[in-house]
Amino acid sequence: GAGVSQTPSNKVTEKGKYVELRCDPISGHTALYWYRQSLGQGPEFLIYFQGTGAADDSGLPNDRFFAVRPEGSVSTLKIQRTERGDSAVYLCASSLSGGKDEQYFGPGTRLTVT
Amino acid sequence: KQEVTQIPAALSVPEGENLVLNCSFTDSAIYNLQWFRQDPGKGLTSLLLIQSSQREQTSGRLNASLDKSSGRSTLYIAASQPGDSATYLCALENQAGTALIFGKGTTLSVSS
């Protein structure tokens, strides 16, 4: 079946603008994760959804970052008042039911803030 | 707080060589450990997942081992090929089971 998909693949925005990044998880997966990967670093956890609710948002760096998953499938990561330091690859992953289940990653969205 | 370290940061080998990538972690109370491959500009591909009750997993030319007591995992690649060139990432579940904690990766280059 189809894997995790993310759109757009690349996004260039100006400092101060608002952006939305979309993630389509594998069908039937209840758990969804967002990570951020800066150049030369491993991915860093941002937020974890179980169904429609954010079960762990401890990785969100500040209140400019917000994510939703209103119907328990597609998720949107929203960044307000973007800063140059937000430039990174944003990765989405899903797993069947969370916990110890294997996570499957999407190709990522490369965000560049100019 | 769990910390994951991968050594070396980069490795270059000739084709056909066997090699070992290392991953160490600070908290031995772990759940799953996963090894991923990342090609330039791409997402992550899961290679092997070792559950906490297991000591190793094998897939083709890849073998991953886990020693919780010493806080180490190794990824062994046999008979390396140029197509193995990529960044290899090690990741552990956090204690809450809500996220993976990644190392910075080892970038492997296999020359023909």
Confidence grade of residue B110 (pLDDT, cut at 50, 70, 90)? very high
State the Cα–Cα distance between residues B102 and A25, nearest whole angstrom.
21
Residues A66-80, mean pLDDT to the nearest whole number: 97
Q: What share of chain B is helix, strand, coil (3-state, %, to 5)?
A: 5, 55, 40
Across the A:B interface, residue pairs with CB atoms under 8 Å apart total: 61
Q: What is the pLDDT of residue B98?
A: 86
Per DSSP, what are the bridge partners of residue B106? B88
Closest Cα in chain B to A91: B43
Q: What is the pLDDT of residue B96?
A: 80
Q: What is the pLDDT of residue A2?
A: 83
Q: Using one digit for the tens of pLDDT, what is the confidence trace for B36-58?
A: 999 988 889 999 999 888 999 99
Q: What is the largest CA-CA distance in chain B?
A: 44
Q: Are the Cβ atoms of B97 and A45 closer than 8 angstroms?
A: no
Closest Cα in chain B to A41: B104
Q: By the 8 A CB rule, do A103 and A2 touch?
A: no
Other beta carbons within 10 Å of B96: 12
Going A58 to A51 to A109 to A77, the CA torsion angle's sign is negative
Residues A60-67, mean pLDDT to the nearest whole number: 97
Instruction: Provide the b/e sequence for B66-77 (b: ≥16 CB within 10 Å).
Output: bebeebebbbeb
Q: What is the pLDDT of residue A1?
A: 54
Q: Using one digit for the tens of pLDDT, what is the confidence trace for A4-48?
A: 999 999 999 999 999 999 999 999 999 999 999 999 899 999 999
Q: Mind giving me the DSSP string for A31-99?
A: EEEEEEE-TTS--EEEEEEETTEEEE-TT--STTEEEE-TTSS-EEEEE-S--GGG-EEEEEEEESSST
Instruction: From chain B, pick out residues whose CB is under 8 angstroms from the CB of A67.
Output: none
State the Cα–Cα distance between residues A59 and A45, nearest whole angstrom.
5
Nearest to B99 among A33, A40, A100 (CB): A33
Lowest-pLDDT range, B29-38, B59-68, B69-78, B81-90? B29-38
Amino acid at site B88: Y
Q: Using one digit for the tens of pLDDT, what is the confidence trace for B81-102?
A: 999 999 999 999 888 888 999 9
Q: How high does pLDDT run on average in chain A?
A: 95
